[in-house]
Amino acid sequence: MVRHVLGLSGGKDSSALAVYMKDRVPDMEYYFCDTGKELPETYEYIKKLEILLGKPIDMLNADRDFDHWMWVNKGLLPSAQLRWCTPNLKIKPFEMWVGEDEAISYIGIRADENREGYISSKKNIKPVYPFKEDGITRDDVFKILEDSGLGLPKYYEWRTRSGCYFCFFQRQYEWVQLAERHPDLFQKAVDYENKVGFESTASEKQFTWTGKETLTELLERKEEIIEKHNQKVKNQLSVSNNNTNLASVLENVLDSDDDTPPCLACHV
């Protein structure tokens, strides 16, 4: 028997896909790879989604946690170039969960995106992209979530990418907001940097999450970052005649700061 599986990242697109596929594939199995470092808003959203879907979402944990893999990687912080976290914390747990079963993996990449999504190298896992096939775009995703009553994850008030609270794919404004809304988590992210800085000896190591400055230095520029962000929001609203949904304004503004394609496994 072929299994139908859909991975939730805690992000809007995979969540909208789960809602979209609910009645189309009734025997769908849902899973969430929990790094143990997710935002509280993400756990809350996954619970709400579980209620809406009417079936459990399997929480998959890596056999070893982030700190273990950081130790294996000689104390190196993960980065876009050296992304040791995704294979160990997201991909391996998924592949172990599927095992040798034949499976169709439903991926929430949209028709208006130019990325592939995570494709398992395992031959028994076949990826499919219903949103691409059906021409579903970002606005459609917003509508699917709104119509279902689920809405967006709460972190969408300040951040647009799901994943770990310290994810290096965060933009400057998102770091500032992490410090405002979750000072304890921001401090933990700072602690990682301090630990790496203290223990590192090799010059090629990544010492900071941003790759440019420490989080403490970034936070010293808080006023400047917020002001720049607010100005961009104002500009966005004026070009859209104040008629755009705020979540899409936030996405556009943050992407204009840094549109590095986010992680294919974590940010869907």
Q: Which residues pair with 127 in a beta bridge?
A: 105
90 touching ligand SF4, by CB under 6 A:
yes
69 touching ligand SF4, by CB under 6 A:
no
153 touching ligand SF4, by CB under 6 A:
no
Contacting residues for 89 by C-beta, under 8 A, at least 6 apart:
33, 35, 62, 66, 69
172 touching ligand SF4, by CB under 6 A:
no
- State which of residues 30, 142, 156, 169 lies at the interface with ligand SF4 (CB under 6 A): 169
Angstrom CA distances, 198 to 47, 68, 97, stand at: 38, 18, 37
DSSP 155: G
**Window contacting ligand SF4 (CB under 6 A); options: 82-90, 102-110, 188-196, 213-221:** 82-90
Q: How far is CA 57 from the centre of its chain?
A: 17
Give CA–CA dist 80/122, Å, rounded: 23
**Window contacting ligand SF4 (CB under 6 A); options: 11-19, 159-167, 188-196, 223-231:** 159-167
Contacting residues for 97 by C-beta, under 8 A, at least 6 apart:
31, 58, 60
Give CA–CA dist 41/14, Å, rounded: 16
Query: Smallest distance, Å, CB 33 to ligand SF4?
Result: 8
266 touching ligand SF4, by CB under 6 A:
yes
Query: Smallest distance, Å, CB 32 to ligand SF4?
Result: 12
Give CA–CA dist 106/56, Å, rounded: 17
35 touching ligand SF4, by CB under 6 A:
yes
Q: Which value, in Å, is the radius of gyration of the alpha carbons in the chain? A: 19
Q: Which residue is nearest to ligand SF4 (CB)?
A: 163
Query: Smallest distance, Å, CB 78 to ligand SF4?
Result: 5
Paired tokens of 20: 């979209």
Query: Smallest distance, Å, CB 88 to ligand SF4?
Result: 8
167 touching ligand SF4, by CB under 6 A:
yes
- State which of residues 11, 78, 130, 153 lies at the interface with ligand SF4 (CB under 6 A): 78
Listed residue (220, 246, 243, 222) closest to 158, CA to CA? 246
Query: Smallest distance, Å, CB 268 to ligand SF4?
Result: 11
Positions touching ligand SF4 (CB under 6 A) are: 35, 78, 83, 85-86, 89-90, 163-164, 167, 169, 263, 266
